[in-house]
Chain A
């Protein structure tokens, strides 16, 4: 079991009347890629800023490597940050930007140039050292920011929505690269994002934030397949809930239940229900063709709505179900999970 490198206890931060972070306890394990996931205003960035030292908590404590750093300013903490807007210094060349942290720590010139060049190479930007940040594209600036942080060999790298400003293709490419770089350097990454796909793709573990509190902590598989609350079910993936009377009618049990759309099959009304499956009658309200798959929004006879997703593995005929068609939705009982409201 990996040791704990960051231990946050009872972290609380208020902005005026708003409680941005409300008593958060969090252990970050050495070497892991941990993602803080949540909608804007959920407190994830504030938690990251309190770990970096940019915000002082109103209550609670932060330990890095077993040392309490709650009152230590950012320059005294062995962590480095990649900022959402990159925050590259516009008056310094790329290489000078990367050298800055080493220069401040009085690393000799020869060593610091060598380390900066190596860092530049590690983000695949050899030969860009003499350029000004303004001459780089968004993706390149992103990598310089990463190199500027990594060159200091911090114990933990904090990343504050670093891919938010990039377009989709570049973002997906950087997700893969970031993960590779993290494996290569072996540094603990704490990554903030509001993008569930990003979180699922990159993380060893995900912390889902909601209204300043941790809603769930687990591996991507746990968070996606077994969402703990209705909020997590809705935020990570599509909200697909059976609740109240509908749940009682279909499942024979009350409560709120989550079924992921890709677990649901859409079949004709006369199809037979396999053993170990639940089935519910409904009418197709909407058919959305999204290339790789087709989404069906189905109004249930017992009330409520479920979404089902089918892979378009055969042809582009969207499974043959049309808008307004009466259908039967079936899924295996092990794919339904009770969530808290």
Chain B
């Protein structure tokens, strides 16, 4: 029997690297450029159109009228401030809750429990958003709500529907997005770093402030990008547990049938705020930690 020596040939992709790259990127680029950036561009363009007051028809002339209205009418810029305030509060609350939780998961619990703890933190994300918000409606409802029921023997009432209800519900919704990056950051923190700080004379509080927090900062910013931007764009929570309190998303929702250009102008505001936030945190190295 004879054997013929053959030189192994690379596959199709190996011989045609450009085609391989095209195969890799065509679908995601189509999605990102055509669908995502396209719709964002359309939104931005629409924001500069206007509506004929008599006919209700969209007039495709470029004007700054919509933005003027948003920033000169106190009712509207009040909503902007409130929405940003809610997003900041939710982010801070998530941080305060996530730090000890992630610390327990990453540094106190036995390593074999960690995957289970991570899974438990993720579990709420598997449930429907609406189910969770309605659950909080049942919790927050004045007088007959679960919280009120627990507080009534003390002569207290629950937070009810409104600003606080929105903050509590959004904090609950986005907490996992803050826990996970901080947890990941803490598992990457070498024990020797903490030993070294103690060895150089620092007590635990000092080590936390001077070593742990600064090293965790990019992870915290990564988490805050999620909690902040998700809160900024939310409107369903405000609708269900917000009572009379409305957020930017609600303004969009109320206007997009009657005045699409105005709704578009309002919708660009959170986008701009998030872009500003991203630009501010870009230098912290957080974007490499998401």
Contacts and interface: CB of A to CB of B under 8 A. Distances in A.
Interface string B203-218: 1001000110011010
Q: Report which residue of B190, B193, B198, B201 has the largest number of chain A beta carbons within 10 angstroms of its beta carbon.
A: B201
Given A75-B203, A100-B210, A104-B206, A87 B198 contact: no
Nearest to B207: A75
Interface in A66-92: 73-75, 79-81, 83-85, 87-91
Nearest to B203: A75
Contacts of A73: 198
Size bin of chain A's contact surface? 20 to 34
Q: Report which residue of B195, B198, B199, B211 has the largest number of chain A beta carbons within 10 angstroms of its beta carbon.
A: B199
Tell me if B's interface is mostly helix, strand, loop or mixed: helix
B210 A74 contact: no
A81 B193 contact: no
A61 interface: no
A104 B192 contact: no
A54 B206 CA distance: 17
Contact of B202 (A75, A80, A85): A75
Contacts of A169: none
Size bin of chain B's contact surface? 10 to 19
B190 A101 contact: no
A108 to B, nearest CB: 16
Interface in A31-61: 52-54
Contacts of B202: 75, 100, 104
Contact of A84 (B192, B198, B200, B206): B192
Contacts of B211: 89
A283 interface: no
B190 A74 contact: no
Contacts of A148: 200
A142 interface: no
A148 B211 CA distance: 15
B196 interface: yes
A100 B200 contact: yes
Contacts of A87: 190, 192-193, 195-196
A80 B198 contact: no
Interface of A: 52-54, 73-75, 79-81, 83-85, 87-91, 100-101, 104-105, 148-149, 152
Interface of B: 190, 192-193, 195-203, 206, 210-211, 214-215, 217
What 5 pairs across the A-B complex have the smallest Cβ distances?
Answer: A101-B200, A87-B192, A87-B196, A74-B198, A91-B214
5 contacts: A87-B192, A89-B196, A89-B197, A89-B214, A152-B201
